Amino acid sequence: MTPPAPKDQGAALIAALLLVALMAALSVQLVDLTRFAVFRTGHLDTRAGAYWQALGAREFAESVLQRGVDGEVMRSDLAWLSEPQVFPTETGVITGMIKDQNNCFNVNALAQTRSEDGDGDPAQQVTRAHRMFDVLMDEISIPPGSARTLRVQIGDWIDADTRPEPGGAEDLTYQVFDPPYRTANTAMAQLDELMALPEMTPGFYASLQPWLCALPASLQPEINLNTLRLDQAPLLAAALQGKIDAAQAEALLFRRPPQGYDALEQFWGDPLLANLELDAQDRAAFTLRSRWFEMEVQVRFEEARFNLTQLVELEQNERVVRHRQHFGPIQ
């Protein structure tokens, strides 16, 4: 047998080396793919753990809310309404907070969009909401011109007609924007819809956000006198249609019993209110039992961060109804 020529031996060696290099490259690629798959699986497991802990915290918060009702009275010393509640876990920490959403101004009350349970003339209810909004804006130092323009623009955004009020805005105003859009002609689903209005700026929105809300109802909710904080005194003055100012409202809240009122008659018996001419509608603007709540849960699970926020309604039979929910990783 004739031995291979030296040139053939060199070609075979080069082919063998190329095959080894190719196999090494494939091995490195497979190792990288395996490492990424393991990392992705672990990340998904961590995210899933954070998600399920958030759901569990939500269920717990809803049960706490149901247990916090003492007949028709909610007390002012409920820990879950005053500050975030922190629960350490084996994998991180869970932080939960419940906010009384009765104690805010409902922007959807500025225009009547549908029938609502309750007594009273709808037009009169909208008029009272306008007055409450104007007083609140004045108490938080919003210029009257900006406050009025914002009010009519909110009304035009919500109402079903296409006729703008003086200073308001309907479809023709928004169609010149880039990109163009139209008014919703229905109630606001979220408060950040205010950013679509011509009058609104990020700074203006930031100053209004602590005081306003967008509830799935066309009526202004009653202010809860037991859970209203001292720094929310302007809401009390606004609910009384400006018959007292924020300083007097703060004095009223300061004289509130430590655990809150047992009955509304105790509040109306305050000497400051006894000298005021209050009608049935003034008195109907307050309650000791809230209906609307916002729950926020933040979860730290190992390296994952997860947030869940939802708006709930507590019905008279203490059943909790979920109306909207946002969840996802914390950026």
Beta bridge mates, 98: 295
- Mean pLDDT is lowest, of 70-74, 228-232, 251-255, for 70-74
* d(C-alpha 53, C-alpha 318), whole Å: 24
Per the structure block, which two tokens stand in for 101? 């959403």
Q: In Å, how far are 217, 239, 298 from 305, measured between CA atoms?
A: 33, 39, 7
DSSP-assigned letters across all residues of 193-223: GGGGSTT--HHHHHHHTTTEE--SSSSPPPE
Task: Determine the Cα angle at 81 with ends 98 and 281, to 5°.
Answer: 95
Confidence band, pLDDT 50/70/90 cuts, at residue 62 = confident
- Mean pLDDT is lowest, of 26-30, 88-92, 96-100, 266-270, for 26-30
Q: Tell me, what DSSP letter sits at residue 71?
A: T
pLDDT digits (tens, 9 = 90+) for 70-96: 667 887 667 677 678 888 988 889 888
Per the structure block, which two tokens stand in for 111? 């225009």
Per the structure block, which two tokens stand in for 138? 């004045």
Confidence band, pLDDT 50/70/90 cuts, at residue 110 = very high
Q: Pick the residue with more confidence: 61 or 41?
A: 61
Q: In Å, how far are 14, 36, 192, 320 from 26, measured between CA atoms?
A: 18, 15, 51, 57
Contact predicate 72/288, CB 8 Å: yes
209 has a pLDDT exceeding 80: yes
pLDDT of residue 250: 96
User: What Rg do the C-alpha atoms of the chain give, in angstroms?
Assistant: 30
Per the structure block, which two tokens stand in for 189? 């689903």
42 has a pLDDT exceeding 50: no
pLDDT of residue 252: 95
- Mean pLDDT is lowest, of 21-30, 86-95, 193-202, for 21-30
**Which domains, and CATH codes, for the chain?**
1-101+290-331 (3.30.1300.30), 105-287 (1.10.40.60)
Per the structure block, which two tokens stand in for 76? 């002012």
Q: Pick the residue with more confidence: 219 or 119?
A: 219
* d(C-alpha 135, C-alpha 139), whole Å: 6
H helix or E strand, kind and range, residue 92: strand 92-100
Per the structure block, which two tokens stand in for 172? 């023709």
Confidence band, pLDDT 50/70/90 cuts, at residue 4 = low
pLDDT digits (tens, 9 = 90+) for 119-169: 567 888 999 999 999 999 999 999 999 999 999 999 999 998 888 889 889
